[in-house]
Amino acid sequence: MPTTLALLAFLPDIVGGEMVVVLLLVLLLFGGEKMPQLAKGLGKALREFKKAAGDVEQEFKRALDEVPDPTAPAKPAAPRPTPPVSRTEPPPAPPRS
């Protein structure tokens, strides 16, 4: 499970004190009653995003497994069946008169 610092790595310029100011501003804007709902919605959105990313990754893996290996030797083709040969006697020659 990633740590909080790893989750916030995309915000390299925001440090602890600035983060506290941002959280206080969010608290003032949305109020204490809306904060749990906001966090719940954010959690659901992150869960759905991770699920979709995992589904895409599984689809890529499945597609890569289906691609034939170009370095593998080709399978020999099955021999083509030959048509049956009918062995019939030629018609008798007509009598000479």
Across the range 7-11, mean pLDDT stands at 60
The secondary structure of residue 72, as a DSSP letter, is: S
Full-model pTM: 0.43
Q: What angle do CA 36, 27, 3 make, to 5 degrees?
A: 65
Model pLDDT for residues 20-42, shown as the tens digit of each residue: 888 888 888 888 888 888 889 98
The secondary structure of residue 84, as a DSSP letter, is: P
The secondary structure of residue 10, as a DSSP letter, is: T
Q: How many CA atoms lie within 13 A of 94 on its CB side?
A: 2
Instruction: Indicate whether 2 pLDDT > 60.
Output: no
Across the range 36-58, mean pLDDT stands at 92
Give residue limits of the domains in the chain. Answer: 31-67
